[in-house]
Amino acid sequence: MGYWTYYLLTFGIAYATQYPGVAVLAVVFWLSRGFLPDPVLLLRSFRRRQKLRAEIELNPANMVATRDLARLYLDTKRPRKAVTLLEQTRERMAQSTRHPLGSRDDAELLYLLGLARLRSGKPDEALDSLVAAVAITPDLAYGEPYYVAAEALGKLKKWEEAEDAIERFLSHNQSSVGAYVRLARVRARRDDGKGAKEAIAQAKTTWTVLPSYKRRHEWGSYLAAVVSPLWLGVI
């Protein structure tokens, strides 16, 4: 945003001093940003969602439209919508010869279904879908199903299995700072302090070799690695 940031900040402070209640509400919304959909993304995706729904109604076997719509639901914090869409699609696939169950298309949908179920608060059901996805295509999405499975296993406090899932993910993708930080957290839960520190060291090393565009996405994970002495001892 450049210099506009300074102008907006100035106007925001001036407005907040006159209307503190609005400022408090803005802070509440900012703190809730991880749970609420991005309003800009929600508006931008509205027409796209309408178009994809129309394409699926016209051709229920359109796997690309189904996948893209499920991702839009996930991006806009509507995982239950994604679950319903994906489950209905897989029911139709059971009768399909072009996109049958057990195909690579099915593996992609199972991965998205696992992610949607996890975000809907159902880690057990998520694991069923994710295991089925990698059983069909072990290298699907550069191992991303393993990373999601590690999160689900963490919610179930199955730390040994969570560590195994992260290590499987890292065998496909060694450039994820976030994965090494998560590995450190899991190892700390298993009272493996040495292993946790090794994972943090690897996270920092990985950060140094990332291109700038990837660093923007990994900044939060790198910061967690930097301040790891503060949280490793309290997990």
Q: How far, CA to CA in Å, does 50 sit from each of 28, 113, 126, 141?
A: 31, 21, 27, 26
The residue-averaged pLDDT of 31-50 equals 66
* Phi, psi for 137 (deg, rounded to 5): -135, 95
Residue 81: CB partners within 8 Å, gap ≥ 6? 73
- In DSSP notation, 163-207 reads HHHHHHHHHH----HHHHHHHHHHHHHTT-HHHHHHHHHHHHHHH
DSSP symbol at 38: P
Going by pLDDT thresholds of 50, 70 and 90, the confidence category of residue 7 is very low
Q: Residue 26 has what pLDDT?
A: 53
* Of 129 and 233, the one with more pLDDT: 129
Half-sphere exposure for 178 (CA within 13 Å, toward CB): 13
% of the chain with per-residue pLDDT over 90: 74
Could you count the other beta carbons within 10 Å of the beta carbon of residue 219? 12
Nearest Cα residue to 151 out of 102, 185, 174: 185
Q: What is the pLDDT of residues 61-116, one digit of tens each?
A: 899 999 999 999 999 999 999 999 999 999 999 888 888 899 999 999 999 999 99
Say yes or no to pLDDT of 5 above 90: no
3-state SS class at 157: coil
The residue-averaged pLDDT of 43-59 equals 89
- In DSSP notation, 44-89 reads HHHHHHHHHHHHHHH-TT-HHHHHHHHHHHHHTT-HHHHHHHHHHH
CB 81 within 8 A of CB 72: no
Going by pLDDT thresholds of 50, 70 and 90, the confidence category of residue 19 is low
* Phi, psi for 56 (deg, rounded to 5): -70, -40
Residue-averaged pLDDT of the chain: 87
Lowest mean pLDDT among 19-28, 62-71, 207-216: 19-28
